[in-house]
């Protein structure tokens, strides 16, 4: 086994060659050696970490983009939920104003009673065939009444002010005679159509 002194002796020729080199050559050798060492450190140590950092940065950017998309979707979902609740509340409000099927006879009675209370004379009070729409049905009632103008207006106001939805349409006012006018119109009320209830033909 070679001892330390033998090892140094074997390197003597190398040292002598280095001593024979001029200053510029020695500086060049040192510079090349430093470049090789720095290059090795960069390639084997710094470069892998740089690539890892670069990859982590890209992953972070991707996660940030996904998070922003998710945040926008969540905000949109919250907005849709609020809008849905508002529409649902409006729908329920309208549904509460629609009479149920069992309430129709009493509602028609209320319309007739409103006319009598205002002093009108009923010439015609005739419920017509139900007209079904998507989720509600229209129940028209043909009316022909006689009375003074003030009482006629009061009657229409009372009918449209009932706690259930009733609209007055197709109003036709006839001739004036003995302080009374002849009024023909259609009072239309509505009912909610249960999905289980078979729709009537129009």
CA distance 157 to 38: 97
pLDDT tens sequence across 46-82: 666 666 667 777 887 888 888 888 888 888 888 888 8
Superfamily of domain 101-192: Ribosomal protein S6/Translation elongation factor EF1B (3.30.70.60)
- Name the phi and psi angles at 110, rounded to 5: -65, -40
DSSP H/E element including 200: none
DSSP H/E element including 181: strand 180-192
CA distance 174 to 118: 19
Q: In this structure, what DSSP letter does residue 198 have?
A: P
Nearest residue to 139 via CA among 94, 195, 191: 191
The answer to whether the CB of 107 falls within 8 A of the CB of 164 is yes
Long-range contacts of residues 110-118, Cβ cutoff 8 Å, at least 24 apart = 110/162, 111/141, 111/143, 111/159, 111/162, 111/166, 111/187, 111/189, 114/155, 114/158, 114/159, 114/162, 115/143, 115/145, 115/155, 117/158, 118/147, 118/151, 118/152, 118/154, 118/155, 118/158
Quick one: pLDDT at residue 202? 46
CA distance 156 to 168: 7
The answer to whether the CB of 104 falls within 8 A of the CB of 191 is yes
The answer to whether the CB of 36 falls within 8 A of the CB of 28 is no
Tens of pLDDT along the chain (202 residues)? 445 455 445 556 655 665 666 677 767 777 777 777 777 776 667 666 666 667 777 887 888 888 888 888 888 888 888 888 888 777 666 666 565 665 677 778 888 888 888 888 888 888 888 888 777 788 898 999 898 888 888 888 888 887 777 888 899 988 777 788 899 999 888 877 765 555 554 4
Domain boundaries, the chain: 8-97, 101-192
Q: What is the DSSP string of 5-59?
A: HHHHHHTHHHHHHHHHS-HHHHHHHHHHHHHHHHHHHIIIIIHHHHHHHHHHHHH
**pTM of the entire predicted model:** 0.48
- Give SS3 for 172: strand
């Amino acid at each position: 086994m070679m001892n330390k002194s033998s090892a140094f002796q074997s390197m003597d020729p190398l040292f002598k060659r280095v001593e024979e080199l001029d200053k510029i050559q020695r500086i060049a050798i040192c510079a090349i050696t430093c470049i090789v060492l720095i290059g090795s450190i960069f390639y084997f140590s710094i470069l892998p970490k740089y690539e890892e950092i670069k990859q982590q940065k890209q992953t972070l950017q991707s996660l940030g983009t996904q998070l922003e998309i998710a945040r926008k979707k969540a905000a949109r979902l919250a907005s849709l939920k609020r809008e849905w609740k508002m529409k649902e509340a409006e729908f329920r409000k309208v549904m509460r104003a629609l009479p149920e099927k069992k309430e129709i006879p009493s509602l028609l009675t209320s319309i007739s009673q409103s006319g009598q209370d205002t002093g009108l004379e009923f010439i015609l009070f005739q419920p017509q065939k139900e007209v079904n729409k998507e989720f509600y049905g229209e129940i028209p009632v043909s009316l022909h009444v006689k009375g003074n103008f003030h009482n006629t207006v009061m009657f229409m106001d009372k009918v449209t002010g009932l706690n259930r939805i009733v609209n007055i349409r197709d109003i036709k006012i006839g001739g004036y005679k003995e302080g009374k006018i002849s009024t023909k119109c259609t009072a239309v009320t509505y009912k909610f159509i249960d999905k289980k209830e078979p729709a009537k033909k129009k």
